[in-house]
Amino acid sequence: MRVVVALGGNALDGKTRQGVYAAQVRNALAASRQILEIVKAGHQVVLTHGNGPQVGNLALQQELSAADVPPQPLHVLDSMTQGQIGYLLQREIGNALKECSIARPVVSVVTQVLVDAKDGAFGDPTKPIGPFYDQGTAKRLAKERGYVIRRVKPRGARAFRRVVPSPEPIGIVEAGAISTLVRSGAIVVASGGGGVPVVPDRRGRLRGVDAVVDKDLAAEKLAEAVDADALLILTDVEKVKLSYGKPGERGIDRMTATEARRHAGEGHFPAGSMGPKVLACVRFVERGGALGVIASFRKGAEALEGGSGTRITADPTPREKGRKEPG
């Protein structure tokens, strides 16, 4: 199968989430081993990743050095972290392939993602980024830099964070180039962190906007763009769960798109965590993809073969009932 694999940014930053280079290298190496197992199983891989911890750290660096170096807009930080993480992944995956005598180029593409300038998210920023602030610092940054700041913790001295819009992804600007690379046999790292959000003007010229596109929803658009068979979202839990953290909690082995939407409507998948992952898989299979899988970062290859994770498929037609699913 052709598989789009989506890694969370936290998976690369480690448990401390402090952005230590050595830790990011170790985690990129762990990711490369998972990708290697998927490649050795005969699948073609397109890789994407989150960048939440990395872009947050970079934003903090910008603030701390603002007196000496002009700070860059958020969309530029998005592109910088795409390059940072893409470099680590392509290097470590390339090393892993070489150790197994697999001749396969690995390429990372700084990717732009189209969004709608009229998306309602621009009028209601909700995505927290960067460090936590005390109230005084929050007010100062709101005045000096125009940040939208909101309280994100109910108590504590540092309970405020900057929030930015999180618009819906419409399409991948570099879709044609990425598809060409994929057809050439390359392993492509693309659309990192949800991509750099851009909007066209009346003449079709693109400009970056300060926003964060959900990386799982952007991964679904990437999967469409490269005509993938499967969308594999790797996270820190082994399965999607119903009644998470409550009495009666249970893992789900498989769902149809309709079942997933029903569970989501019942409130089982929080918007800030599992919700976008389930929605991305549902959209993918509803738009023609064969299989969506949500699984543990450590069990990606196993999950593709049906031995772990939660599998999401389209609703079967009467003829398709009983037909064996891919993988």
Q: Count how many domains the chain has.
A: 2
* 273 pLDDT tier (thresholds 50, 70, 90): confident
Instruction: Fill in the amino acid letter for 43.
Output: H
Q: Of the residues 127, 194, 239, 309, which is catalytic? A: 127
Compute the average pLDDT of residues 269-289. Answer: 93
Decide which of 143 and 11 is more confident: 143
- Structural contact between residues 93 and 186, judged by C-beta atoms closer than 8 angstroms: no
Active site residue 50: no
- Structural contact between residues 278 and 235, judged by C-beta atoms closer than 8 angstroms: no
Strands (E), 50-176: 106-109, 112-114, 127-134, 148-151, 158-164, 171-172
Judgement on whether residues 59 and 130 belong to the same structural domain of the protein: no
Q: Of the residues 56, 57, 215, 309, which is catalytic? A: 215
Active site residue 57: no
Instruction: Fill in the amino acid letter for 50.
Output: G
User: In this predicted structure, what is the pLDDT of residue 325?
Assistant: 56
Q: Of the residues 52, 195, 277, 327, which is catalytic? A: 277
d(CA 234, CA 213): 18
Q: What are the tens digits of pLDDT across the range 48-97?
A: 999 888 888 888 888 888 889 998 999 999 999 999 999 999 999 999 99
Instruction: Fill in the amino acid letter for 300.
Output: G
DSSP bridge partners of 230: 3, 291
CATH number for position 277: 3.40.1160.10
Decide which of 8 and 211 is more confident: 211
In a domain, residue 305? The reply is yes
Q: For residue 185, give the H/E element and its range.
A: none
Of 191, 170, 190, 192, whose CA–CA distance to 182 is shortest?
190
User: In this predicted structure, what is the pLDDT of residue 157?
Assistant: 87
Active site residue 127: yes
Q: What is the full DSSP assignment across 44-57?
A: EEEEEE--HHHHHH
User: In this predicted structure, what is the pLDDT of residue 324?
Assistant: 57
Active site residue 215: yes
Within 10 Å of residue 260's Cβ, how many Cβ atoms? Answer: 25
Judgement on whether residues 40 and 135 belong to the same structural domain of the protein: no
In a domain, residue 324? The reply is no
pLDDT over 80 (residue 17): no
Q: How far is CA 289 from CA 28, 41, 62, 280, 327, in A?
A: 28, 20, 40, 11, 13
| Mean pLDDT score of the chain | 91
Compute the average pLDDT of residues 273-288. Answer: 95
Q: How far is CA 119 from CA 2, 191, 268, 293, in A?
A: 31, 20, 26, 28
pLDDT over 70 (residue 322): no
In a domain, residue 319? The reply is no
Q: What are the tens digits of pLDDT across the range 93-129?
A: 999 999 999 999 999 999 999 999 999 999 999 888 8
Q: Running DSSP on this structure, what letter comes out for residue 123?
A: G
Compute the average pLDDT of residues 173-192. Answer: 97
- Structural contact between residues 172 and 179, judged by C-beta atoms closer than 8 angstroms: no
Q: What are the tens digits of pLDDT across the range 291-311?
A: 999 999 889 899 999 999 999
User: In this predicted structure, what is the pLDDT of residue 144?
Assistant: 86
Full residue range of the structural domain in which residue 67 is found:
2-115+172-313
Task: Give the global pTM.
Answer: 0.90
* 237 pLDDT tier (thresholds 50, 70, 90): confident
